[in-house]
Amino acid sequence: MAVDTSVNIGDLNLANPIMTASGTFGYGEEFTPFVNLSSLGAIVVKGISLNPRPGNPPPRVVETASGMLNAIGLQNVGVDRFITEKMTMIRTLGAKVVVNILGDSLDDYRELAARLDDVDGIAAIEVNISCPNVKKGGVAFGTDPLMAAKVADVVVRQSSRPVIIKLSPNVTDITVIARAVEEAGVTAISLINTLMGMAIDIRTARPKLANIIGGLSGPAIKPVALRMVYQVASVVKIPVIGIGGITTLDDVIEFMMAGATAVQIGTANFVNPAVSGELVVGFKKYLEDSGRSTATELIGCVLR
Amino acid sequence: MAVDTSVNIGDLNLANPIMTASGTFGYGEEFTPFVNLSSLGAIVVKGISLNPRPGNPPPRVVETASGMLNAIGLQNVGVDRFITEKMTMIRTLGAKVVVNILGDSLDDYRELAARLDDVDGIAAIEVNISCPNVKKGGVAFGTDPLMAAKVADVVVRQSSRPVIIKLSPNVTDITVIARAVEEAGVTAISLINTLMGMAIDIRTARPKLANIIGGLSGPAIKPVALRMVYQVASVVKIPVIGIGGITTLDDVIEFMMAGATAVQIGTANFVNPAVSGELVVGFKKYLEDSGRSTATELIGCVLR
Amino acid sequence: MALQYLENGEILENEVVGPDTWRMAIRAPKITDAAQPGQFVMVAVGHESSDPLLRRPLSIHRAENDVLTLLYRIVGKGTKLMSHMKRGEDISLLGPLGKGFQLHATEHHCLVGGGLGVAPLLFLAKEIKRRLPDEKMTILLGGRNSKELLVLADFQHVAPVLVATDDGSQGLHGLITALLDQEISGPATIYTCGPSPMMKGVASLARHRNWPCQVSLETMMACGMGACLGCTVQRAGIDETEKKYVHVCKDGPVFEAGEIWL
Amino acid sequence: MALQYLENGEILENEVVGPDTWRMAIRAPKITDAAQPGQFVMVAVGHESSDPLLRRPLSIHRAENDVLTLLYRIVGKGTKLMSHMKRGEDISLLGPLGKGFQLHATEHHCLVGGGLGVAPLLFLAKEIKRRLPDEKMTILLGGRNSKELLVLADFQHVAPVLVATDDGSQGLHGLITALLDQEISGPATIYTCGPSPMMKGVASLARHRNWPCQVSLETMMACGMGACLGCTVQRAGIDETEKKYVHVCKDGPVFEAGEIWL
Ligand SMILES: Cc1cc2nc3c(=O)[nH]c(=O)nc-3n(C[C@H](O)[C@H](O)[C@H](O)COP(=O)(O)OP(=O)(O)OC[C@H]3O[C@@H](n4cnc5c(N)ncnc54)[C@H](O)[C@@H]3O)c2cc1C
Ligand SMILES: Cc1cc2nc3c(=O)[nH]c(=O)nc-3n(C[C@H](O)[C@H](O)[C@H](O)COP(=O)(O)OP(=O)(O)OC[C@H]3O[C@@H](n4cnc5c(N)ncnc54)[C@H](O)[C@@H]3O)c2cc1C
Ligand SMILES: Cc1cc2nc3c(=O)[nH]c(=O)nc-3n(C[C@H](O)[C@H](O)[C@H](O)COP(=O)(O)O)c2cc1C
Ligand SMILES: Cc1cc2nc3c(=O)[nH]c(=O)nc-3n(C[C@H](O)[C@H](O)[C@H](O)COP(=O)(O)O)c2cc1C
Ligand code: FES
Ligand code: FES
């Protein structure tokens, strides 16, 4: 039976719902020995800021039970070199590319969106709002509905492309943030970014990460991510992209049933660099075997 | 070398920092074949409400990566039968007993505290504020600093014993809640309760828990718990009791270094019912081997 | 409180006995000695890893001469890991747990097992034979096909066995309830364990015939010892106190069929 | 981009070769064929469990005739699980990864290894001998005691070996830097791998003597292939762009000593 694996994020049509998550897939290139990038729904590249950032001192990563903490510190080449160097390479990959952006201020986000809007070969913009707002004493944009909506608004106004806003899970009520950014006119919502966590080396009595606190990702956080996707999909009308611990085909199906239109694979890429491509193949087979003819039938079937 | 393993929660002196967590240790009795209960710092019994509660329909538990979800629904015998039946048994156990309480309204908490204050054999009250406030449309008491402080206040006023308030981790800024309850005069803060999570059975396209959403516990949440203990211990002056995924002696030490005066063992009791007793022995040996003479030296040494 | 132990047993045997089905024999004198038919153990499958995290509940299949035997099917991560364990390795067991079958004198003991439900019935059959040697006993076993009639010979050593298969490859072509209906007449006590639709059918026939009927249930379990309150099934009849539910690990796994909602 | 493979290798041997130290030989033709001395592989230790989650980086100890050999010490969960793996089982490898040692003609190749740091040096020694057979090579090995001088005989087959132990149980009683200082004179190229204080000492002596010095570093790694940016060490000199750090998995693990902060 011919099945239709494609899904739509607003006007953006993806061949299938399997994307890769920002910061876990480099600029795509590293994975070419293991994955046919053009077979993926899309790839999301490492977060880009206005200026180059060195990132945090080491140690930057540590393993935890079924998860890992990272405090990379948003190391990146900055938007100029991204456009001149990286995008040239990325355009040769044959993948649908989503560019993830981050800023310290509304102005940063505005300028990033404007700069990228002229660049060819970008399918959509994903806005990371888990970053600290320097003007507001370092409170993350994503923890306040008003700030989150403002970021969403400035990026939407500067972008002719679909805008995905990526939510932080470190909030009391994720649905309030989700509704706020929906109102601001974004195309879709992706969630979750990492949970804030910590680990201590008891031999040295020092935190294991130089940054003290880091972001928890991997299978450990899957139940929290799935719950938030379910909650958000219950209250918004725009597409939701599920992220958090997704490793197996079953995980992909769970997130879609909970209401996700597409999913992003993060930490799992480190464990098995071929996993995203394997999930594309597995997803098609799943649809065939389960007698569903379209991917869209799966979306939110727990909600109904 | 003689070491002093004891710690103080306000006026309450514990022989050592190892406690068991509410809802994971029954009323203590079940563990008598495996643990000498009088060797523990204290045990915390299953949460008690004013009236008996049947709890949620099954399925109530499901395993996740390095964790589990539960939606027990606060099943308990109610405070009357707790006092007449359970306390009689509990007094024979030889353990220091902390009674965990929960309510739907401020009045519930007030009355529970008053009723228990006359009962012999209780070392302290622990107040679970992760429950929905029925008057406020079901928003959990623990997610709002004002509501949390009000609950703390009514219980403190009714209790001649130490009052521990147990925080919900499902909040944007745990330090705000912690400061609010400290102001209300509680003796100590325990954290974390479970993270809200979900799992889906893809064969039936239904949530795995009848209650849809449940509480995530176990090693998976340890990094989040440790981070919150560290954050709270940095801003309050009262003792903090660390909870969340604690399984090994290293975990105990990590939480104490992060600022916990004592710890509670939860899900680990299910995996190894003897674990709490083993940790008491291990903790003493650790102090001896590491050349520290008191448990209190460990507390918060990462903060300094 | 009944005696319970946390015991590190030595694996004496771990072998395939049917489709995806394995049998593990473990030297575990304390638990074996205390075990009653219908009780179960919680088995640690994860070694030092926290995934899988929880112990897995498995019925006691045999308990003789210091050796405890389990019969298990590979359905997920935990049972798969168990199947990789080797002779000579240690395995941590918690048990014996729960309330097993109640043995009373009766005219005819009928054991009705489907699929993996046969696991606790072998121990039961042996106990009936040992403790009530003069009483009549019939064992009815069902499966999808002849291959799924597990450890049949072991049962045949204890008492007469009747079988039914869904595909007719052995015994009656049809459901085990049909077999029970056809073959058993007169007063009897029923002990049943198997897939939930089968137990429902057996219990309803038993009610009809006025046979006392004990059913052995499965639910998700975290602790297996009454501490987590996770393993509920609903009691028959409506009740809005905490008594609305019973706990399979402590009040069961064996219940009078009339006592609970099947 | 250099060739990299995800390869399921068959374990041919997994045995103890020193205190808590094991050697695993794996048939993995593709990675073996592409491997260069100083490169490493990311090894999957967790099977279907998500704890431990990440692959573990291990240096390529030997790479000959389709067989890749690893030398590893049990320090935690992952390496312990590796030591339980049996001959005949499969193990998933990702590699070869990173930038290895640079071989240039020199008067004297000096390989300086401490503890587990000897792991990549055997492959290096064999390559030097194969590709630059006429050049002088000396191998200096250090350990806490004679038992910690790992796979000594393997090195002795390749080139002259000098040893130092902390307790004097074999060779020089003292640090390997003292050995290097005493025994090597004249121009040389240093290749070193071992505990970080040792490498610091070796690098500083090398700077003093004007010896080119390549060091092989270890950091925590999540991906091993340049995707996570987790494995940073700081570049020598101050820089506030993203170039402040290098990545051990991609820019290393072997660096010129002067290039990075040791
Ligand atoms: C009292 C009791 C006695 C049992 N006796 C036996 C026995 O003798 N032989 C045997 O093969 N099995 C028995 N079971 C079922 C057995 O516990 C499960 O098959 C096992 O826990 C599955 O573990 P897993 O890690 O392989 O599967 P998982 O990966 O945990 O789950 C795989 C599937 O099995 C289901 N499952 C998991 N745990 C349970 C459970 N506790 N009860 C029911 N379904 C579950 C899950 O929902 C899932 O669909 C018994 C269960 C109980 C409660
Ligand atoms: C490029 C490279 C090559 C290596 N080659 C070898 C080798 O040939 N032989 C060998 O025995 N070891 C080698 N190591 C170190 C090895 O990777 C770690 O010992 C191993 O990952 C520990 O895993 P574990 O699960 O046993 O320990 P864990 O339980 O993960 O940790 C135990 C301890 O080891 C430390 N540790 C964990 N991972 C690393 C790491 N990646 N680097 C440094 N320390 C770590 C932890 O901080 C902790 O203190 C190498 C590391 C790198 C980066
Ligand atoms: C090492 C690492 C780096 C990350 N960098 C970014 C980033 O630059 N921008 C971003 O929006 N998310 C970043 N994330 C978050 C992931 O995109 C993803 O939201 C999160 O890891 C949860 O998914 P997972 O559990 O599948 O990894 C990063 C995650 C990891 C582990
Ligand atoms: C089955 C179960 C029941 C619980 N019941 C209660 C409860 O009644 N009251 C309460 O305050 N916390 C309850 N908790 C939360 C635990 O006390 C603890 O805060 C949480 O599980 C995190 O610790 P852990 O990861 O060590 O389990 C329960 C947890 C579990 C797993
Ligand atoms: S399984 Fe925990 S109470 Fe029954
Ligand atoms: S380990 Fe991931 S970039 Fe080096």
* Per-residue pLDDT tens over the stretch A136-166: 777 889 999 999 999 999 999 999 999 999 9
pLDDT band for A1, please (50, 70, 90 cuts): low
Whether residue C54 and residue B32 make contact (CB cut-off 8 A), yes or no, is no
DSSP notation for B217-282: ESGGGHHHHHHHHHHHHHH-SS-EEEESS--SHHHHHHHHHTT-SEEEE-THHHH-TTHHHHHHHH
d(CA C177, CA C203): 9
Active site residues per annotation of B: 131
Residue D237 is assigned to a structural domain of this protein: no
- In percent, the amount of chain A with pLDDT more than 70 equals 100
* Per-residue pLDDT tens over the stretch D211-234: 999 999 999 999 999 999 999 999
Cβ within 8 Å of D, B 47-86: 65-66
pLDDT band for A267, please (50, 70, 90 cuts): very high
> CB distance from A219 to chain C under 8 Å?
yes
d(CA A40, CA A14): 8
pLDDT beyond 70 at D1: no
Q: Tell me the residue length of chain C.
A: 262
Residue A201 is assigned to a structural domain of this protein: no
Q: Is B168 helix (H, G, I), strand (E, B) or coil?
A: coil
d(CA C112, CA C116): 12
pLDDT at B1: 63
Whether residue C49 and residue D80 make contact (CB cut-off 8 A), yes or no, is no
d(CA D181, CA D204): 11
Residue A268 is assigned to a structural domain of this protein: yes
Element (H, E) at B178: helix B174-183
* Partners of C138 in the β-ladder: C110
* Per-residue pLDDT tens over the stretch A58-88: 999 999 999 999 999 999 999 999 999 999 9
* Per-residue pLDDT tens over the stretch A12-61: 999 999 999 999 999 999 999 999 999 999 999 999 999 999 999 999 99
pLDDT at C1: 53
* Per-residue pLDDT tens over the stretch D77-123: 999 999 999 999 999 999 999 999 999 888 899 999 999 999 999 99
**Same-domain status, C119 and C201:** yes
**Same-domain status, D121 and D189:** yes
Q: Which domain holds residue B190?
A: 7-55+72-196+215-297
Whether residue A23 and residue D223 make contact (CB cut-off 8 A), yes or no, is no
* Per-residue pLDDT tens over the stretch B24-76: 999 999 999 999 999 999 999 999 999 999 999 999 999 999 999 999 999 99
Amino acid type, D106: T
**Same-domain status, D48 and D91:** yes
User: Could you tell me which residues come within 8 angstroms of residue A157 by beta carbon, excluding any fewer than 6 positions away?
Assistant: A110, A113
Residue C103 is assigned to a structural domain of this protein: no
* Partners of A61 in the β-ladder: A70
Radius of gyration of chain A (CA): 18
Rounded to a whole number of angstroms, the distance from the CA of D42 to the nearest CA of chain A is 9
Contact by Cβ (8 Å): B247, B101: no
What CA–CA distances, in Å, run from B213 to A25, B56, B225?
Answer: 31, 11, 20
Question: How many C-beta neighbours within 10 Å does residue D195 have?
Answer: 14
Residues near ligand 5 (Cβ within 6 A): C 221-224, 226-231, 247, 249-250
The total number of structural domains in chain B stands at 1
Residue D90 is assigned to a structural domain of this protein: yes
pLDDT at B212: 95
Handedness of CA A220, A226, A232, A236 (dihedral sign): positive
Q: CATH no. for residue B277?
A: 3.20.20.70
Residue C253 is assigned to a structural domain of this protein: no
Rounded to a whole number of angstroms, the distance from the CA of B238 to the nearest CA of chain D is 35
Q: Which domain holds residue D83?
A: 5-97
Instruction: State the complex-level ipTM.
Output: 0.96
Active site residues per annotation of A: 131
pLDDT band for A131, please (50, 70, 90 cuts): confident
More confident residue, C258 or A178: A178
Q: Which two tokens stand for residue A125?
A: 């913009």
pLDDT beyond 60 at D45: yes
Residue D261 is assigned to a structural domain of this protein: no
d(CA A141, CA C105): 73
pLDDT at D37: 97
| Residue finishing a domain among D62, D97, D132 | D97
**Same-domain status, C39 and C114:** no
- In percent, the amount of chain A with pLDDT more than 90 equals 94
Residue A93 is assigned to a structural domain of this protein: yes
Distance C135 CA to ligand 6 centre (A): 71
> CB distance from A249 to chain B under 8 Å?
no
pLDDT at B138: 73
Distance B60 CA to ligand 5 centre (A): 10
Residues near ligand 6 (Cβ within 6 A): D 221-224, 226-231, 247, 249-250
Low-confidence ranges of chain B (pLDDT < 70): 1
Whether residue A302 and residue B200 make contact (CB cut-off 8 A), yes or no, is yes
| Residue finishing a domain among D43, D63, D97 | D97
Residue D250 is assigned to a structural domain of this protein: no
**Same-domain status, D38 and D119:** no
pLDDT beyond 90 at A304: no
Residue C242 is assigned to a structural domain of this protein: no
**Same-domain status, C144 and C200:** yes
The total number of structural domains in chain D stands at 2
Q: CATH no. for residue D118?
A: 3.40.50.80
Q: Which atom of ligand 5 is nearest to the CA of B270?
A: 2
pLDDT at A97: 96
Q: Tell me the residue length of chain B.
A: 304
Number of H helices, E strands in chain D: 6, 16
Among the listed residues A245, A117, A242, the one whose alpha carbon sits nearest the alpha carbon of residue A189: A242
pLDDT at A101: 96
| Residue finishing a domain among D35, D66, D97 | D97
**Same-domain status, D116 and D209:** yes
Contact by Cβ (8 Å): A27, A33: no
Q: CATH no. for residue D57?
A: 2.40.30.10
Radius of gyration of chain D (CA): 18
**Same-domain status, C124 and C150:** yes
* Per-residue pLDDT tens over the stretch D116-152: 999 999 999 999 999 998 899 999 999 998 888 888 8
Residue D254 is assigned to a structural domain of this protein: no
